[in-house]
Amino acid sequence: MPESSGARPEVGDELELEVGDVAHGGVFVARADERVVFVSDAAPGEVVRARITQVKRSFARAVALDVVDRAHEARRAHVWPEADITRDPELRPGGAEFGHLRPDAQRELKRRVVTDALARFGGVTRDVEVASTAGDADGDGTGWRTRVTLHVDEHGTVGPYAARSHRVIPVERLPLAVDAIDALADRHRTARGPGRLEFTAASEGEALVRPVPDRGRATRAGVVRERVGAREFDVDQDGFWQVHRDAAATLVGAVGAAIDPELLDPRAPNLDLYGGVGLLATSFADVGGADVRVETVESARAATEHARRNLAGLPGASAVTARVDRYLEHLGRDSGAAARDAFGRATIVLDPPRSGAGGAVVRSLVELGPAQIVYVACDPVAFARDVGTFRELGYEPGGILAFDLFPSTHHVECVATLRPVR
């Protein structure tokens, strides 16, 4: 075991550290003189030489410089050469924290993170497997991103930011991106800065790039068309859409499978919260037919307008522009006995931002008393905290699924069904 130096670590120190298990955020736990050190670019069980990059009162951060002993059996040359451990940490681009490990090992790490988060923050003992999409089953964790943002510094250099930095790093390729974006970005090695370039590869049409300067007027965002199965969805070029090429279809299928058809009342006031352009609202139709009543709620007006058009073929669907917390407060305040009885038969799907739904939204949902809730989450800790609140208020999780919709990164998507304890 590496010896302790006996001194408090300082920024810039290089230490030999024995790496423990994975932690949320794509880092790994080590210790230096009883202080927790979160190490990036490492793997469990390795002994690494690492440089301290940040020191706080209760923890420090470090980045691995090389593996001294016991290299993890799944370690490989990084899929993004500029992010490899052999490169100076200050010159490594961020956004591919697990690219130095085989995809099967990445999914195992994500399984541990989800399982640990549910136990610690949600009070749920559950071993949740992380599944790949069908298109990634035999892949190497590359070629999946359909949205990429590159930054432009004051010198006109184009590239991603370095990890935990605003330093622009020029790169030869974008291996996590789909081929169309990788090829288009290769033609934009320099640009007028400072600002950013937003790349989009939709299901239909060619890849697009939109310059967004830090000062002055940005190029107006266009509308792109996405196809999911037999359905088409219009979304603004700068609007929200699932990043992985197969994520939209995967989540529509997962949400549809999570909805219990016996609890889905077609006439109840069913809701799709944080609904975007209406993608997950279509799961209701997949389960109960086109006439199932569902209202999608989204705070971005442009997205709501797209949702109305995207859902026009479903007679039971509607879309409103509102903040979810205020919308639910209004329902809870103004609903009479008949409305409350109707909500007791409702199915609610919610796909909140990375920070989670939060206690106020969870409490408002529980007060409505729906028959079932399907929660889609892209952050396991925020998800687990909300699950814990649901449990405290009488809703227990049933099935919990997890999907590796962000290969070579630490991110993972979860889908859970929650039902009231009768």
In this structure, the answer to whether residues 56 and 126 fall within a common structural domain is no
Please identify which residue in the block is written with the tokens 């974008």: 174
Predicted pLDDT at 6 = 55
Q: Is pLDDT of 254 > 90?
A: yes
Torsion angle in degrees (nearest 10) through CA of 9, 15, 19, 23: 40
Cis upstream peptide for 194 (omega within 30°): yes
Beta 22-23 vs 27-32: how paired, if at all?
Answer: antiparallel
Q: What would the mean pLDDT of 289-314 be, rounded to a whole number? A: 97
Strands (E), 334-394: 347-350, 372-377
- DSSP secondary-structure letter at 237? T
Residue 171 to residues 92, 157, 161, Cα–Cα distance (Å): 9, 10, 10
3-state secondary structure 316-345: CEEEEECCHHHHHHHHHHHCCHHHHHHHCC
- pLDDT tens-place string over residues 218-227: 778 899 999 9
The pLDDT confidence band at residue 23, using thresholds 50, 70 and 90, is: very high
What is the distance in angstroms between the CA of the first residue and the CA of the last residue of the chain?
52
Q: What would the mean pLDDT of 291-298 be, rounded to a whole number? A: 98
In this structure, the answer to whether residues 129 and 156 fall within a common structural domain is no
In this structure, the answer to whether residues 191 and 265 fall within a common structural domain is no
The pLDDT confidence band at residue 1, using thresholds 50, 70 and 90, is: very low
Predicted pLDDT at 8 = 81
Total domains present in the chain = 3
In this structure, the answer to whether residues 319 and 372 fall within a common structural domain is yes
In this structure, the answer to whether residues 130 and 154 fall within a common structural domain is no
- pLDDT tens-place string over residues 69-117: 999 999 999 999 999 999 999 999 999 999 999 999 999 999 999 999 9
- pLDDT tens-place string over residues 173-186: 999 999 999 999 99
- pLDDT tens-place string over residues 370-400: 999 999 999 999 999 999 999 999 999 999 9
In this structure, the answer to whether residues 134 and 151 fall within a common structural domain is no
Q: What would the mean pLDDT of 343-361 be, rounded to a whole number? A: 97
In this structure, the answer to whether residues 282 and 321 fall within a common structural domain is yes
In this structure, the answer to whether residues 273 and 299 fall within a common structural domain is yes
- Residue ranges for the known binding site are 242, 274, 298, 351
Estimate the crossing angle of helix 359-368 against helix 380-392, to 10 degrees: 40
75 touches 43 (CB < 8 A):
yes
In the three-class reduction of DSSP (H, G, I as helix; E, B as strand; rest coil), residue 206 is classed as coil
- Residue ranges for the known binding site for S-adenosyl-L-methionine are 242, 274, 298, 351
Sign of CA dihedral 262, 267, 272, 276: positive
Structural domain including 165 reads 147-225
In this structure, the answer to whether residues 165 and 200 fall within a common structural domain is yes
User: What residues act catalytically?
Assistant: 378
Q: Any idea what the CATH number is for the domain that residue 291 is in?
A: 3.40.50.150
In this structure, the answer to whether residues 169 and 214 fall within a common structural domain is yes
Which residue type, as a one-letter code, is found at position 279? L
